[in-house]
Structure 1
Amino acid sequence: MSATLHDNSESFPDLGARTIGAVNWIGLWTLYLRETRRFMKVWAQTLAAPAVTTILFMIIFTLALGGEGRQIAGLPYAQFLAPGLIVMAMLQNAFANTSSSILIAKVQGNIVDTLMPPLSALELTIGFVAGGITRGLAVGMSVGLAFVLMPGVPMTVAHIWPILYFSVAACTMLALVGVFTGVWAEKFDHAAAITNFVIAPLSLLSGTFYSIERLSTSWQVFSHLNPFFYMIDGFRYGFIGTGDSNLMIGLAYTLGINLVLTFAVYRVFKTGYRLKA
């Protein structure tokens, strides 16, 4: 009788056992959905509001700097300005998505709900960053659509691949920086300090509102060290067909920074820095 029971138990698999595999696709997809649904539930704040703010930037700067008669690089100022404003909106929102997600979880004490599931450090990195990229691209499309519908803002496409690459590279970089900020910050004032003293200055001094050819030599050197400049200039090149920098240098520079940041964020999740007691 005991032998029969033993044989029967061996013939049935353990229904409680589960093999995740090399990649926990279900967990990764669930994390990504959580990160995207966070901002989609408040779309008026996360998608519509940036579009309205960026339109106001366009109206104010085009009116304040000479209206329709002003030109840069032989183009109407609005046409030169629009791509830079789109990238600025994407940068800020990709950063906000990841930084706020992690910081809020830490402040509320439920970060453990993210760390306890069987997700590897690489899967956590991909899940959070993919959510930030999605929000950044969604904001970019909403702002771009608003500019297309705006009279007096010509939006033509010269090359599609720089638009695709530099938009994704920009969102990736700021999503990664947002993860760092969320992990490092202990309160919302810390995250606001990064936004006000790092993200905003680098964005405003990146050639968004002007061509760096008009700057002094020292400021041109600073601009060429600023990764935001390459992202905005490369994205603008996709629309107007000209730029202030070598496109390949910008591609290599932004790709290198993103690879370094990705490895650093992976190490943060791997070691549990400021995440595990």
Structure 2
Amino acid sequence: MSEPNSAINTASVKNEYSAYGTRTIGAVNWLGLKTLYVRESRRFLKVWSQTLAAPAVTTILFMIIFSLALGGRGREVAGMPFANFLAPGLIVMAMLQNAFANTSSSILIAKVQGNIVDTLMPPLSATELTLGFLAGGMTRGLFVGIFVCTAFVIMPGVSLTVSHLWAVIYFALSASAMLALLGILTGVWADKFDHSAAVTNFVVAPLSLLSGTFYSIERLDPAWQMFSKANPFFYMIDGFRYGFIDRADSDLMIGVIYTLAINILLAFTVYRVFKTGYRLKP
């Protein structure tokens, strides 16, 4: 009589284990996605003086130096004071650099320290990994943009007035997303910090400086104008600047379509990298 009872008890334990011991994640692992995003955000928020305040101070110094060196007293660009023309471009430059730095450093440090497995082992799909890292990089870029914009608002000699809110929001999000995605690819590709620095020095920095941040491309030769119009950074800075000064050097719809297409392509590439485990899995 004891054997049937024992069998019943064993079956009951198995049923309870199946009911309570196995977690059903569902179509989207929201908890895992949230955890990854929180981790990526806390990485820079815990050292905010280096990741938020320092870029703001550096950008303010750029503003002061270039305003004094290139602006001069009473100099105007595009019919407005040089400082008002320069400020939106510097804001986007800071956002670009910091969105890139957040994702590239996160993945590269994990690879160098050997704990990238802690990110790959949890039940996170390629889409969730892409969204988690992307959201973290965008958050840092946008936070830096807010810090710098606030500093410029209270800075004497600079006047920032939003003329087209949609342009400010779209191009800020687009710029942060593009460099966050590029940072993910760089972190995956790089084997050491020199590789990441090479992308920063030979790709991100030149495209930023040659994007019309400090000048209007109308003053350039036709050949350089064509180069600028092939540079996606130009459209992001020009569109963001349009949101403040109500003037653009390019067709805004071309800029919207061009940046959106690049972001979609980069997002798909990042998804495939996580899906296949390229340079992440042995």
Taking structure 2 as the reference length, what is the TM-score of the superposition? 0.96
Could you tell me which amino acid in structure 1 is paired with residue 182 of structure 2?
A: V
Paired with 2:222 and 2:205, the residues of 1 have a C-alpha distance of 22
Q: Cα offset for 1:5?
A: 3.1
Q: Cα offset for 1:259?
A: 0.2
Match for residue 44 of structure 1 among 49, 59, 74: 49
Paired with 1:53 and 1:30, the residues of 2 have a C-alpha distance of 31
* Correspondence for 1:109: 114
* Correspondence for 2:9: 5
Could you tell me which amino acid in structure 1 is paired with residue 88 of structure 2?
A: P
SS of match in other structure, 1:69 = coil
- Cα deviation digits, residues 236-255 of structure 1 (max 9, x gap): 00000110000100000000
* Correspondence for 1:211: 216
* Correspondence for 2:83: 78
- For the pair 1:92 / 2:63, whether they are aligned, the reply is no
RMSD: 1.2
Mapped contact 2:71–2:83 kept (Cα < 8 A): no
- Residues 41, 218 of structure 1: alpha-carbon distance in 2 compared, 3 angstrom cutoff: same
Q: Identity across aligned pairs (percent)? A: 73
Match for residue 185 of structure 2 among 160, 180, 189: 180
Matched positions, count: 277
- Residues 86, 19 of structure 1: alpha-carbon distance in 2 compared, 3 angstrom cutoff: same
- Residues 27, 63 of structure 1: alpha-carbon distance in 2 compared, 3 angstrom cutoff: same
Mapped contact 1:158–1:241 kept (Cα < 8 A): yes
| Structure 2 residues without counterparts, runs of 5 or longer | none
Q: Cα offset for 1:16?
A: 1.2
- Cα deviation digits, residues 56-98 of structure 1 (max 9, x gap): 0100111011334110110100000000000000000000000
- For the pair 1:53 / 2:58, whether they are aligned, the reply is yes
Match for residue 67 of structure 2 among 40, 46, 62: 62
Could you tell me which amino acid in structure 2 is paired with residue 97 of structure 1?
A: N
- For the pair 1:33 / 2:38, whether they are aligned, the reply is yes
- For the pair 1:244 / 2:249, whether they are aligned, the reply is yes
SS of match in other structure, 1:152 = coil
* Correspondence for 1:260: 265
Structure index of larger Rg:
2
- Residues 212, 22 of structure 1: alpha-carbon distance in 2 compared, 3 angstrom cutoff: same
Mapped contact 1:68–1:77 kept (Cα < 8 A): no
SS of match in other structure, 1:104 = helix
* Correspondence for 1:227: 232
Could you tell me which amino acid in structure 2 is paired with residue 147 of structure 1?
A: F
Taking structure 1 as the reference length, what is the TM-score of the superposition? 0.98
Paired with 1:194 and 1:223, the residues of 2 have a C-alpha distance of 19
Mapped contact 1:68–1:76 kept (Cα < 8 A): no
* Correspondence for 2:21: 16
